[in-house]
C-alpha cells in the first residue's frame, strides 16, 4: 500500500519560514519524480516545485528564490523549505510522486500565512 504523509504545516507570520516534509512508503522512492502542489481556497491546484530522480529542480515563478525542494532517497523523504512567506502562499500543500502512469498524493498539510 502506497502512502505519502505530509507534515510541517501551520500558522506563520508574513516573512517567516516553514519546512514541510513528506514521508513515503510502498514505492521505490528513488524512481519517482516528486513534487509539491498547493491549492488555495477557490483556486485550482498548482505545482509549486518538483524534483526529478536525478535531483533537477523546478519552481513556479512566484516561489523562485524563496522555496527549496529536496529529497533524501535513503530515508524516502522529501522536503520543502519555505522562506519569506507571503499571505498568498496560504494554501493546502500536497506531496506528489509520479512515474509513467502512476501518480500518488498525500492528504495535504495546511499552511496559513497571516499576521
> What torsion, rounded to 10 degrees, do the Cα atoms 103, 69, 38, 97 define?
10
Determine what percent of the chain is predicted with pLDDT higher than 70. 100
**Alpha-carbon distances of 60 from 5, 10, 51, rounded to whole Å:** 23, 22, 12
pLDDT for residue 56:
98
pLDDT for residue 100:
87
Q: Are 93 and 37 in contact (CB under 8 A)?
A: yes
pLDDT for residue 65:
97
Determine what percent of the chain is predicted with pLDDT higher than 90. 94
Q: Is 63 helix (H, G, I), strand (E, B) or coil?
A: helix
- Convert the pLDDT of each residue in 45-91 to its tens digit: 999 999 999 999 999 999 999 999 999 999 999 999 999 999 999 99
Cα–Cα distance, 28 to 34 (Å, whole number):
12
Amino acid at each position: 500500500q502506497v502512502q505519502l504523509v505530509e507534515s510541517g504545516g501551520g500558522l506563520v507570520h508574513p516573512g517567516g519560514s516553514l519546512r514541510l516534509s513528506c514521508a513515503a512508503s510502498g514505492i521505490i522512492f528513488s524512481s519517482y519524480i516528486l513534487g509539491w502542489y498547493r491549492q488555495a481556497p477557490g483556486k485550482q491546484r498548482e505545482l509549486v516545485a518538483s524534483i526529478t530522480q536525478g535531483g533537477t529542480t523546478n519552481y513556479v515563478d512566484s516561489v523562485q528564490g524563496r522555496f527549496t525542494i529536496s529529497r533524501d532517497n535513503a530515508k524516502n523523504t522529501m522536503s520543502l523549505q519555505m522562506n519569506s512567506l507571503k499571505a498568498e502562499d496560504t494554501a493546502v500543500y500536497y506531496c506528489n510522486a509520479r512515474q509513467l502512469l502512476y501518480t500518488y498524493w498525500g492528504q495535504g498539510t495546511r499552511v496559513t500565512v497571516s499576521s
